[in-house]
Amino acid sequence: MKEGDLVMVSAEATGLGEPMEAVIDKIEIFMKQTLVTVTYTHPNALSGPGGCFVDVHITLKEY
């Protein structure tokens, strides 16, 4: 994974009941955890513009 990649954020992480498509803004390591900051490609009123998630909830989007 790298900045600019198109990814899917798991439904468990978003709390919205369905995965969300997003673009990676930043990747950083904090206390031995890889954190990924994303911006959703199709945000809605419940999701907001994006968020920061632990990398286990992020998968690369298949084209």
Quick: pLDDT tens for 33-42: 999 999 999 9
In the chain, which ranges are E strands? 6-9, 20-30, 33-40, 50-54, 58-60
39/6 Cα distance (integer angstroms)? 10
Average pLDDT over residues 33-52: 96
Share of the chain above pLDDT 70, in %: 98
Q: In what order do the strands lie in the sheet with 58-60?
A: 50-54, 33-40, 20-30, 6-9, 58-60
- Position 62 pLDDT exceeds 80: no
36 touches 53 (CB < 8 A): yes
Q: Are 57 and 34 in contact (CB under 8 A)?
A: no
